[in-house]
Amino acid sequence: MKLSITAIIAIIFIVALLLGILYSLITFSRRSEPPSKKYDKYGKPGDKGVCPVCTTILSANEKIVTTVYPGDDDQVCYIYGCPHCYPVAEEDRYRSCPVCKKKLGAESFLYARYFDRKDSSQHIHILGCAKCRHKKQ
């Protein structure tokens, strides 16, 4: 059975056309699914599991980057942000101070007091950023 060159080209064209249709159906079905809500959730600063810098609701394995300095009852703490806003903020993340609401720079941090309570829970009181914390009165 011999096939002519035009028949071979026609078969290749039909196979390529069918593969293109199959690819477009697969990608279209994925586009119709709702986008992942993993990083699209925002919360209120102060709520448990919410980054105080960018208000992103954190998943269970995400932690806020902090530095705690030793002290007696309360300790000085610097809060830098979460994986979404520190060290490099994602393009849709807005870093701001929850006290004065001003924009924070990439390397800015929040001043806070860190307390270990008697029931072994922890508490943080955010004092503000460098702009509002050290404002001259």
pTM exceeding 0.95: no
Examine the domain organization and report whether 69 and 94 are in the same domain. Answer: yes
Average pLDDT over residues 3-28: 88
- Map residue 65 onto helix, strand or coil: strand
Examine the domain organization and report whether 28 and 39 are in the same domain. Answer: no
Among 18-27, 32-41, 64-73, name the one with the lowest average pLDDT: 32-41
When pLDDT is cut at 50, 70 and 90, the band that residue 30 belongs to is low
Contact 127, 112 (CB under 8 A): yes
**To which residue do tokens 């159906």 refer?**
25
The identity of residue 109, as a single letter, is F
pLDDT digits (tens, 9 = 90+) for 65-110: 999 998 887 899 999 999 999 988 888 889 999 999 999 998 999 9
How far from the centroid of its chain's Cα atoms is residue 66's Cα? 16
Phi then psi for 10, rounded to 5 degrees?
Answer: -65, -40
Examine the domain organization and report whether 119 and 86 are in the same domain. Answer: yes
Examine the domain organization and report whether 80 and 55 are in the same domain. Answer: yes
13 or 27, higher pLDDT: 13
Examine the domain organization and report whether 75 and 65 are in the same domain. Answer: yes
Token pair listed for 71? 């002290």
- Return the C-alpha torsion angle 96, 99, 101, 102, nearest 10: -70
Domain that holds residue 102: 35-136
pLDDT attached to residue 114: 92
- Return the C-alpha torsion angle 27, 83, 104, 36, nearest 10: 30
Is pLDDT above 80 for 32? no
Contacts of 102 (CB under 8 A, 6+ apart): 96, 129, 131, 132
Examine the domain organization and report whether 15 and 48 are in the same domain. Answer: no
Contact 73, 115 (CB under 8 A): yes
